[in-house]
Amino acid sequence: MTRVQAIPDTITVHVPFSLVKRGGRKEMVLPVDRSTPRQTDDTLVKALARAFRWKRMLDTGEFSTIADLAQRERIAAPFLTRTMRLAQLAPDLVEAILDGRQPRGLTLEALREPLPSDWSEQRHHLAMSIIDNESH
């Protein structure tokens, strides 16, 4: 006759992660040495969609000024202007955001700051912004 060992009632599993706030929601971040499939940041994607939509509305002449467009959208003109900066992002940065491959720590607030018009300078500026945010 064999004895069966008792199964413990509780199992403890340790998963190293940290919580960060992104776009008003909390996100679990695993250590750098762990690879995980990326998820699109809905806040960034929505802001990109708005920026390109607003740019198209101005480019086609549907609205002649940012103030007119802001009034129609019922938002403040400075908010609209800051968000429209996303329409000037380098194409590879836009694609990375849409695919969920944006750099860790990239926030909408960083994208709403004035960015260089040169795409390589944008990448450098955003990389430095991310490093500054993560060091605090």
- Domain limits at 61? 40-135
Q: At 135, list the tokens.
A: 């060091």
What are the backbone angles phi and psi of residue 51, rounded to the nearest 5°? -60, -50
Domain membership of residue 17 (yes or no) is no
In the chain, the number of structural domains is 1
Domain membership of residue 76 (yes or no) is yes
Domain membership of residue 59 (yes or no) is yes
Domain membership of residue 22 (yes or no) is no
Q: At 6, list the tokens.
A: 């008792």
Comparing CA positions, the residue from 128, 117, 127 lying closest to residue 96 is: 127
Q: What is the pTM of this model?
A: 0.68
- Quick: pLDDT tens for 54-96: 999 999 999 999 999 999 999 999 999 999 999 999 999 999 9
Domain membership of residue 93 (yes or no) is yes
Domain membership of residue 97 (yes or no) is yes
What are the backbone angles phi and psi of residue 18, rounded to the nearest 5°? -135, 160
- Quick: pLDDT tens for 25-57: 887 777 766 655 667 899 999 999 999 999 999
Pairwise CA distance, residues 23 & 4, whole Å:
51
CATH for 124: 1.10.10
